Chain A
Amino acid sequence: FPVAPEAEDEGKTLQLVESYLQNFYDLQKDPHPHLRSSGGENPLASKLKEMQSFFGLEVTGKPDLDTLEVMKKPRCGVPDVLR
């Protein structure tokens, strides 16, 4: 079946968010997402909150329009969170 446009957009958004948080907020790549325990906060949502807090956005843990707008801006490649 062809992929519905909304599902395709959702996939691209998730890809953008994951890539951004991996590059700039130390989000670890999860090689086995299906093995993740159900307890505890989703690491992606947690990192998203960190990013939203840094940029003074509303801290929702969700990729809302304001958050995506910041993620699409040209920027420096050095991470905002350095360990």
Chain B
Amino acid sequence: YAFTPGNPKWKRNNLTYRILNYTPKMTRADVDEAIRKALSVWSNVTPLTFQKVEDEVADIMISFAYRDHRDNSPFDGPNGQLAHAFQPGEGLGGDVHMDEEEAWTKDGRGYNLFIVLAHELGHSLGLSHSNDPGALMYPTYSYTDPSEFRLPQDDIDGIQAIYGRSNA
């Protein structure tokens, strides 16, 4: 695993998230469920908690965006770059941007939203890309059935080195 240079991390364990918009390719309930499950990947192994907020600025703002979306990192259309996220911090910090032009799904067709989101949230929390091909934080997309997903040890070691182990 690797940390983001400068080792940025959230100073609090109770973080907020907000869903700014939804992809029309999935039902809202399925998007909500993918996000909830992706957040739980990280909260299950650390003391971090995530609370959803509706009308206020959240630590982690999640949105679906097209091409140039004014963060100096334009998306490239279908395939290629699927999403990106920013390291912990104010403003854009922690935010997750998903490329709206991808075929988002809740299963193995197209790109599984839960898998990609779980990876991006790793960046939101301070992890960089791992060179372990089995890690969630490996840069290239690899499908795992969400019902069988278990966070690989490399990612557990990385996130616990930043935030410590779960209290539970």
Residues of A at the B interface (CB closer than 8 Å) are 23-24, 54-56, 70, 73-78, 80, 82-83
- Whether A78 and B79, one on each chain, are in contact in the complex, defined by CB atoms closer than 8 angstroms, is no
**Chain A residues near B83 (CB-CB < 8 A):** 76-77
Residues of B at the A interface (CB closer than 8 Å) are 4-5, 73, 75, 79-85, 99, 111, 116, 119-120, 123, 128-129, 131, 133, 139-141
Decide yes or no: A75 and B4 within 8 Å by CB, A55-B131, A82-B128 being known contacts: no
Q: Which of B5, B81, B133 contacts A76 (CB 8 A)?
A: B81
Which residue of chain A has the shortest Cβ distance to B6 in the bound complex? A82
Give the A-B pair count, Cβ closer than 8 A.
Answer: 55
B10 to chain A, nearest CB (A): 17
- Whether B139 and A24, one on each chain, are in contact in the complex, defined by CB atoms closer than 8 angstroms, is yes
Decide yes or no: A54 and B131 within 8 Å by CB, A74-B141, A75-B140, A77-B81 being known contacts: yes
B34 to chain A, nearest CB (A): 16
**Chain B residues near A23 (CB-CB < 8 A):** 81
